[in-house]
Amino acid sequence: MKALFNKYSKYLPMAILVAFCVGILAVTIRISYSRYDNFESGKFDLGNMAQMVWNTGHGKFMYLTDYFGTNLPRWGMSHVDPFLVVFVPIMYFIESPLVLVFSQLALVIFTSLILFKLAELELENRVAALAISLAYLFYPAIGFILAWTDFHGVTAVMPFFLGAFYLFEKMHKEDNFSRSRKIWFWVLLVLSMSGKEEIPLFVILFGVFILLFRKGKEVQKRLAAWMIGIGLVWFIVAFFVLIPSAAHYRVEGYERFVQSIGIEPEETKNVARENYF
């Protein structure tokens, strides 16, 4: 019996973590379904997200209806988060906003498994890795995300960014920057950046981290340079091209709305100012 325990004891920390993940997932699914069933989820933000996914699947890429009844691209009202496109095939067949809600719950909760592997890689101690992963699961901000925020692209991409970091550290420690590994690394980074317009800044900082603290290998320097360059271009395009290019939809829609109810647009001119996002 002791020999059997010794043989499988190395798997115990991960088994404990998976059990916690399953339990927390079950509880938060119940909480989220109850909130949805009691009409506590509204247009902001789950309604917007579900509408964008549905519209994308029916030929209007990332379109939604704003506060004043105008149909416009997502970035014309607020953010650049094309990660939602990932859910189009699923919601094409299962037309329920709960697809987004439950998916976010699973992605956030099982991010702890990636954190476990990363901690194990760095610390070479499974018990410490388990403690760090459980600390993540019981961190109050994570609890708030799981119980109250329904769905946001910036939240749902957490495992992809952390996964990219884990994969890089593994490549670095094993000195193995194979083509397939680098492809997967970039897939994870692109998925991460698609979560919201400011995430490319984190990718830039990731590249800076590599340059400063993972020195010595030319392949790493090139990888970091590409990360900084692509992150910067993505950020500039999102903030200074996409969002401004669609701002007129929001302004024009607002002006039509106030005119339809007999208010002069000049009387509420602040609403028509540049998109504060």
> What confidence score (pLDDT) does residue 45 get?
87
Residue 173 domain boundaries: 157-245
Average pLDDT for 123-144: 97
C-beta contacts of 40-49 below 8 A and 24+ residues apart: 41/97, 41/101, 41/150, 45/149, 45/150, 45/151, 45/152, 46/97, 46/100, 46/101, 46/150, 46/151, 47/97, 48/74, 49/84, 49/97, 49/100, 49/150, 49/151, 49/152, 49/153
C-beta contacts of 25-29 below 8 A and 24+ residues apart: 25/105, 25/106, 25/109, 28/105, 28/109, 28/146, 28/147, 29/102, 29/105
> What confidence score (pLDDT) does residue 183 get?
98
**Looking at the domain assignment, is residue 164 inside a domain?**
yes
Of 246, 156, 145, 146, which is closest to residue 192 (Cα–Cα)? 156
> What confidence score (pLDDT) does residue 260 get?
87
> What confidence score (pLDDT) does residue 254 get?
83
**Looking at the domain assignment, is residue 81 inside a domain?**
no
Dihedral, 39, 43, 46, 52 alpha carbons, nearest 10: 140
First to last CA, the chain: 61
Model confidence at 271, in pLDDT bands (50, 70, 90)? low
Place of tokens 């998916």: 103
Reported as a single tens digit per residue, the pLDDT across 43-83 is 888 999 999 999 999 999 999 998 888 999 999 888 999 99
Model confidence at 248, in pLDDT bands (50, 70, 90)? confident
* Lowest-confidence region among 7-16, 53-62, 95-104: 7-16
Q: Hey, what amino acid is at 172? A: H
pTM of this structure: 0.91
Could you tell me the two tokens for 71?
């149909």
> What confidence score (pLDDT) does residue 272 get?
59
Average pLDDT for 140-166: 96
What is the tally of structural domains in the chain? 1
Residue 269 reports pLDDT greater than 90 = no
> What confidence score (pLDDT) does residue 9 get?
82
Reported as a single tens digit per residue, the pLDDT across 155-196 is 999 999 999 999 999 999 999 999 999 999 999 999 999 999
Q: pLDDT: is 251 or 28 the higher one?
A: 28
Distance of CA 58 to the CA centre of its chain: 23
**Looking at the domain assignment, is residue 86 inside a domain?**
no
Looking at every residue in the chain, the average pLDDT score rounds to: 92
**Looking at the domain assignment, is residue 135 inside a domain?**
no
Element (H, E) at 73: strand 71-73
**Looking at the domain assignment, is residue 4 inside a domain?**
no
Average pLDDT for 9-17: 93
**Length of the chain, please?**
277
> What confidence score (pLDDT) does residue 158 get?
97
> What confidence score (pLDDT) does residue 10 get?
86
**Looking at the domain assignment, is residue 78 inside a domain?**
no
Model confidence at 277, in pLDDT bands (50, 70, 90)? low
**Looking at the domain assignment, is residue 175 inside a domain?**
yes
**Looking at the domain assignment, is residue 205 inside a domain?**
yes
Reported as a single tens digit per residue, the pLDDT across 197-216 is 999 999 999 999 999 999 77
